[in-house]
Structures are given as structure tokens and as C-alpha cells.
Structure 1
């Protein structure tokens, strides 16, 4: 059974992996989120991701912003 901290770390790794796959920086993510109507600073977004504790809505917005259409969530 995973702890809440382990879930947060896993979620953070998923999002960062999708950003890395697509070569998206935090500044680019900030711009892309703004185009979706999500207005926040690059520093705040970086901090949210670093904590790994963010809403499912924010997670999905980020995935949309980086162009992720499918997500493999099983950890081997």
C-alpha cells in the first residue's frame, strides 16, 4: 500500500516524464496552460509539480498543455 507521499511522488514523476518526452520546459508549460485559461507563474507551476500535490484537474490540464493524449500509469 502506498502512502500519500508515495502517490504524490508517483504523480510528479508521471507529469515530469510527459514533459521530458515532449521537450516542454516549465516556461513553455506556463504559456501553454495560459492558452487553456490557466494563469499562473512559471515558479508557482514548478513548485506545484515539485510537491506532487495538485488537483486532478491541474494534472489533466498539464497533460493537455504538453500534448499528451494517452498515459501509461502502471509502474513496473
Structure 2
């Protein structure tokens, strides 16, 4: 059974992979989040993804912002 840290790493890697697949940088993600009403700074996004410490809501906001409609686990 994965540890909490392993789950966090998996979530971060999944989001990073989707960003890469869509060709979206962290700066572009911040812009896209702003378009849906989510205020974030690039440095905060970078830290969240590098640490793997973010909420499920933030994860879903990012997926919505970059228009990910299907997610393969």
C-alpha cells in the first residue's frame, strides 16, 4: 500500500504529465487558472507541484483550466 508521500507524488506526476501533454507551462497554467477565477502565482504553482502538496480541488481546477476531459490512471 502506497504511503501518503507516494500518493502525493503520484498526483503531482499525473498533473505534470497532463501539463506536458498539453504543452502548458506553469506561467500559462497560472493564466488559464485566472481565466476560470482561480488566483495563483507561478511560484506557488511550482512549489505545489514540486512538493506534491495540493488539494483535490486545486488538482481539478488545473485539469479544468487546461481542458483535460479524460484522465487515465
- Specify the TM-score bucket, using the shorter chain as the normaliser: over 0.9
Q: What's the CA shift string for 1:30-69, capped at 9, x where partnerless?
A: 0000111111110111101111111110000000111100
Partner of 1:29: 29
Give the unaligned 5+ runs of structure 2.
none
Give the unaligned 5+ runs of structure 1.
none
Partner of 1:50: 50
Residue 17 in structure 1 maps to residue 23 in structure 2:
no
Number of matched residues?
Answer: 73
Partner of 1:39: 39
Question: What is the TM-score when the length of structure 2 is the normalising length?
Answer: 0.96
Tell me which stretches of 4 or more aligned residues in structure 1 moved more than 2 Å: none
After the TM superposition, which of the residue ranges 24-33 and 42-51 deviates more from structure 2?
Answer: 42-51
What's the Cα RMSD here? 0.6
Question: What is the TM-score when the length of structure 1 is the normalising length?
Answer: 0.93
Whole-angstrom CA distance in 1 between matches of 2:8 and 2:44: 17
Partner of 1:69: 69
